[in-house]
């Protein structure tokens, strides 16, 4: 049974724990538990009325563990979700593209994607390591502030329902 105003964040983050920093902000504001894909039983998700799915972007998509979880979810009706990520390169159209695989899977299960968030994350993948990496210090204070605004907007929209 779904409990009112119960939120969950499903997170995968490993490279520099960049996405975990963003998830921490969302968790505080939305009073949401954070769980990793391997800690979740797909049926358990039905208890929550808002679910955020996020990870770093690896090879132009979310981590495989999130995509696999999305494949295992049962079909829902009217359940709200949001998608987030951190990435080496970020921007409005990049976000839409990077999120497309996960978005398609969630939408095919009946999830309504209410909003999407992306910001830059420190990246030392491959040859970048030799040059000290890109986006050092990201997510920075402004990114965390943007994440705060994003979550506050979701919270407000939920209250107005
Ligand atoms: C194996 C690997 C592949 C990556 N591929 C991409 C990519 O395709 N596009 C991009 O913008 N960033 C890419 N990045 C950068 C990460 O998305 C970025 O560093 C992110 O913040 C990592 O998140 P995390 O610290 O939460 O794991 C890649 C990083 C790694 C380690």
Output the domain CATH number for residue 22: 3.40.50.360
- List phi, psi (to 5°) of 79: -85, 135
Range of the structural domain that residue 112 is part of: 7-159
CA dist 61 → 48, 56, 104, 108 (Å): 25, 8, 12, 17
For residue 1, the model assigns a pLDDT of: 56
Is 56 touching ligand 1 by the criterion CB < 6 Å? yes
Atom nearest to 56 CA in ligand 1: 23
Structurally, the chain folds into a number of domains equal to 1
90 Cα nearest atom in ligand 1: 11
pLDDT of res. 4: 66
Mean pLDDT of 68-81: 95
Q: Per residue in 119-146, pLDDT tens? A: 999 999 988 888 889 999 999 999 999 9
What pLDDT score does 161 carry? Answer: 65
pLDDT for the residue numbered 78: 84
Q: For ligand 1, is residue 121 a contact (CB within 6 Å)?
A: yes
Check residues 10 and 2 and name the one with the higher pLDDT. 10
pLDDT digits (tens, 9 = 90+) for 108-119: 999 999 999 999
Has residue 59 been placed in a domain? Answer: yes
> Domain for residue 88, yes or no?
yes
- Taking the CA of residue 158 as centre, how many other CA atoms within 13 Å lie in the half-sphere pointing to its CB? 23
Average pLDDT, the chain: 95
pLDDT in tens, 92-112: 999 999 999 999 999 999 999
**Is 124 among the domain residues?**
yes
In a domain, 1, yes or no: no
Q: Ligand 1 centre from 19 Cα, in Å?
A: 10
* Ligand 1 atom nearest 61 alpha carbon: 8
51-65 pLDDT tens trace? 999 999 999 999 999
Is ligand 1 within 6 A of the CB of residue 36?
no
In a domain, residue 127? The reply is: yes
């Amino acid at each position: 049974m779904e409990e009112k105003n119960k939120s969950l964040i499903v997170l995968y983050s490993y490279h520099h724990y960049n996405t975990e920093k963003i998830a921490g902000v969302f968790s505080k504001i939305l009073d949401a538990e954070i769980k990793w894909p391997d800690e979740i039983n797909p049926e358990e998700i039905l208890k929550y009325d808002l679910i955020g799915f996020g990870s770093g972007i690896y090879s132009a998509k979310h981590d495989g563990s999130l995509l696999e979880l999305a494949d295992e979810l049962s079909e829902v009706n009217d359940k709200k979700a949001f998608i987030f990520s951190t990435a080496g390169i970020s921007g409005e159209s990049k976000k839409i593209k990077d999120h497309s695989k996960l978005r398609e899977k969630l939408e095919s299960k009946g999830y309504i994607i209410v909003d999407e968030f992306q910001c830059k994350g420190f990246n030392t993948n491959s040859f970048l390591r030799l040059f000290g990496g890109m986006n050092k210090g990201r997510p920075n204070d402004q990114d965390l502030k943007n994440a705060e605004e994003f979550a506050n907007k979701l919270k407000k929209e939920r209250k107005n329902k």
